[in-house]
A = this chain, B = another copy of it.
Amino acid sequence: MKTTLKDVAQRAGVSPATVSYVLNGKRTISESTRQRVMDAVRELDYVPDLNARGLSMRDSKLIGVVVPQTEPGDRLMFQNSFYSEVLGSIEYYARQEGYHILISATDANESYLTLAKQRNLDGIIVIGMYPSDFYRQMKKTQIPIVLVDSYCNDYYYHNVRIDDAYGSYLATQYLLRCGHRSIAFFVGQMCENGVMKKRLVGYQRALEEFSVDYREEYVFEGQIDYENGVLLSRKLLDSGLPATAVVAAADILAIGAMKGFYEAGVKIPEDISIIGFDDLEISQYLTPGLTTVRQQISLKGQKAVELLLRHIAEPNLTKQEVILPLQLIERGSVRKL
């Protein structure tokens, strides 16, 4: 038999409401009464039911985390370790504050609204960019939501992100300073106002600053995974373009490309230079190490949790935007010309 609130109340000789007040700290209770209640809780090994709390107080201590599915039915949501690094960080910081996380690798849509209701989520962290209809729908949950890596400007949502255009600007500028002028750009699929599109803009801006013409045939677009990194490197080699360097808009693309070049007998950095974007854990352990733009992935998760919990504590909090810093990390994959 599960111990109930009533059992505790009976043992302590108080009303069930008093037990509630003591446990949720929402009213001041005399110290002697508090002590009696807490003794009864201990004696009966009483565990408050968080699901039941969720019913009455919007206090389920549960945070939903939405991760995009790159393809329907794709179960490799973690193939890009960017996601696992962010999630690991979110889980860690949420746990420090007594929250649990419910991860869904779902194309966030109406069924997610149902989930949020069903689970009485206290808040949601949404990673990545979704169709605009999604943002219209998600507002209906009326719960705090933090977007990570989104350029959605809706006042309803908080944002935690980096300046993506500045990041690829840094990467491209570095190659230009090393003397490269014929620079290919490997990028994930671009959508208007999305992260990948911004990274293209930064690439273009740096070229312009060095008076190098932007040429569309130097841009190679694919899914963001290792395999597409390999494919894009082959496409570049097949194109016959005289590129001496590549900016990859994600480390995972750069890593695949390094493999593709290696298999084709094209050496890095002797024959072609490459720079990534993210600084995944693995990137420093490659040979050669990948020169890249570091974003503090773990800090992104931490800031998202902090902002969400702040909004949960301050329901009237207005839209906040946190832009995290970027840093160029020099390793061995870029050659000075």
Q: Contact at A88–B102, with CB atoms within 8 Å?
A: no
Q: Contact at B51–A76, with CB atoms within 8 Å?
A: no
Interface string of A266-293 (1 = CB under 8 A from B): 0000000000000001101111010000
**A78, B95: Cα distance in complex, Å:** 15
Whole-angstrom distance from the CB of A233 to the nearest CB of chain B? 11
Q: Contact at A226–B281, with CB atoms within 8 Å?
A: yes
Q: Contact at B287–A258, with CB atoms within 8 Å?
A: yes
Residues of B contacting A118 with CB < 8 Å? 47-51
**Stretch among A52-60, A235-243, A310-318 lining the B interface:** A52-60
Residues of B contacting A76 with CB < 8 Å? 85, 88, 281, 298
**A88, B60: Cα distance in complex, Å:** 24
**A78, B90: Cα distance in complex, Å:** 11
Residues of B contacting A150 with CB < 8 Å? none
Of chain B, the residue at the smallest CB distance from A282 is B282
Residues of B contacting A295 with CB < 8 Å? none
**A258, B285: Cα distance in complex, Å:** 8
A15 contacts partner chain B, Cβ-Cβ < 8 Å: no
**A281, B280: Cα distance in complex, Å:** 14
Name the residue in A55, A60, A75 with the highest tally of chain B Cβ atoms < 10 Å from its Cβ: A75
Q: Contact at A92–B115, with CB atoms within 8 Å?
A: no
Selected from B54, B114, B258, B281, the residue in CB contact (under 8 A) with A79 is B281
Whole-angstrom distance from the CB of A299 to the nearest CB of chain B? 11
Q: State whether A285 and B100 are in contact (beta carbons under 8 Å apart), knowing that A47-B118, A55-B51, A78-B81 are contacts in the complex.
A: no
Q: Contact at A298–B75, with CB atoms within 8 Å?
A: yes
Whole-angstrom distance from the CB of A170 to the nearest CB of chain B? 25
Selected from B84, B100, B258, B286, the residue in CB contact (under 8 A) with A119 is B100
Residues of B contacting A259 with CB < 8 Å? 284-287, 289
Residues of B contacting A95 with CB < 8 Å? 104-106
Q: State whether A117 and B51 are in contact (beta carbons under 8 Å apart), knowing that A78-B81, A105-B88, A262-B287 are contacts in the complex.
A: no
Name the residue in A60, A78, A95, A101 with the highest tally of chain B Cβ atoms < 10 Å from its Cβ: A78
15 A-B residue pairs with CB within 8 Å? A49-B120, A51-B54, A77-B88, A78-B88, A79-B281, A83-B84, A88-B105, A91-B105, A230-B285, A255-B285, A256-B285, A259-B284, A259-B285, A282-B282, A287-B287
A87 contacts partner chain B, Cβ-Cβ < 8 Å: yes
